Structure 1
Amino acid sequence: MDALIGTQVPRQRLTDPASAIVALEQALPGLALHRRTASAGIDWARAEEFLNTELPSDYKLLANSYPSLVFGDFFCLGFPNPGQERAWAEDPEDLEILAEWCADAELSIPLRPFPAPGGLLPWATSNQGDYFLWSTTGSGPDDWTVTVASRNGGWWHYTGGAVQFLADLISGHLELWELPSVRPQVEAF
């Protein structure tokens, strides 16, 4: 039997990347302690060339403002290191796992991994094997929404961007469909 996929909608979608980061810093006050004093210097044009797509502005601003992060000893958000954009963009492991999950999911509307049109592109994971993905549909990457693929087999959408999703997840504004609560703690790595 095909399952329907649920959708959660933010109270208001934050379209300004800086506003999304402010919302995340408000949800997690300790985050600001990890803010870089200068931009990370990631060559986004190079990373996007290897991915063959542009990436959302909120994600790029967060990556240039902060090192890779772990939230609540659960949510793992890694960024490319300057000079290693190609290796980061061409790492196939997550897409291979995602392709298997998409094939196994019994959803009413089949999902496919990127680079399929509208495909799912991983941007974060959990330490329990969950995937946080961009649904690459819309007029451009700043219109992309989040899809959650739980290791427990649950799939759902969030109609905001990645950074706003993190803010809403940590602040408790989201229902935790198939996810544990995320403590408002952060570590940089």
Structure 2
Amino acid sequence: MTDPTALTRLCPPPQTQPAPIDWGRIEAELDMRLPEDYKQLAAAYGPGSYGGDYITIYHPHGVTLYVNLTGPMSSRIREYLQRDYDQGTYPVPYDPQHLFAIGGTEGGQKLFWITEPVNAPDSWRVAINEDKGSRWFTYDGNLTNFLVAVISGEIDNLPFSNLLGLPACFTPSVPPPFEVGDPPMRAPVDTEDIRNWARANGFQVPPRGRIPRQVREAWEQAHPI
């Protein structure tokens, strides 16, 4: 199901129409297709938090790097998970390369898309884990339905009690005042430009799919903001 009606009835979106989103540019920058339910969710609500400002979903117009869909958080979280996965620090039930962080909670949990199969984003499920702990929960449905299930209390086996009884409301994000030291946003980059640069500088990169983290980091170091 991709229709956000169940969520908008339960948790009305802002009356002010959010700014339009260039999905072609966003998907090109991420180098992957996105689920249709997420696109409808992001277009209807804009950046912000659900359940009394408790669940934040990353958005293409996120007001800081840390809540922006194309910001650094997903790759950083995946790096931490990969380390835990390799070292066995905390059990990770999925290959971290198939987890894409899509949000988080005030209680420290992280929300993920399980990006399998990678070319069928509308079939991606949602996973949530606790901060620095071993508990995971997998929701067999899309992100929009997960929000409906949590806010309405439909999920009766969720291991995180702080996600129970959330108010049915949405809080739009307010851009923070810019402060010296805040990291500037990098302009969107065509991933093919990164691939061409990488090949010219001796890196091995796949012709399609995600660009390896070390390659993207090397490109960013060579092209400072």
Structure number with the higher strand fraction is: 1
Structure 1: which 5+ residue stretches go unaligned? 1-14
Aligned to 2:91: 106
1:65-104 equivalent positions in 2, closer than 5 A: 65-71=44-50, 72-81=52-61, 88-102=68-82, 103=84, 104=89
Q: Deviations over 1:105-129 (max 9, x none)?
A: 325x4x233xx3xx11111111222
Q: Identify which of structures 1 and 2 has the higher relative contact order when contacts are C-alpha pairs closer than 8 Å and 6+ apart.
A: 1
Q: Deviations over 1:65-121 (max 9, x none)?
A: 112121223111231129x9xx945422343234323523325x4x233xx3xx111
Q: Is the 8 A contact 1:150 1:179 kept in 2?
A: no
Residue 177 of structure 1 deviates from its aligned partner by: 1.2
Q: Deviations over 1:31-68 (max 9, x none)?
A: 24x1444x632111111111110000011111111121
What is the number of equivalent residue pairs in this alignment? Answer: 160
* Partner secondary structure for residue 148 of structure 1: strand
User: Which of the residues 104, 125, 129 maps onto 1:149?
Assistant: 129
Aligned to 1:169: 150
Task: Work out the percentage of aligned pairs sharing the same amino acid.
Answer: 25
Structure 2: which 5+ residue stretches go unaligned? 174-225
Q: Is the 8 A contact 1:124 1:132 kept in 2?
A: yes
Please report the TM-score for the alignment, with normalisation by the length of structure 2. Answer: 0.63
Q: Is the 8 A contact 1:67 1:188 kept in 2?
A: yes
- Computed over aligned residues only, the root mean square deviation of the Cα atoms, in angstroms, reads 2.6
**1:23 equivalenced with 2:2 (yes/no):** no
Give every structure 1 segment of 4 or more consecutive aligned residues whose post-TM-superposition deviation is greater than 6 Å: none
User: Which of the residues 136, 140, 143 maps onto 2:115?
Assistant: 136
Please report the TM-score for the alignment, with normalisation by the length of structure 1. Answer: 0.74
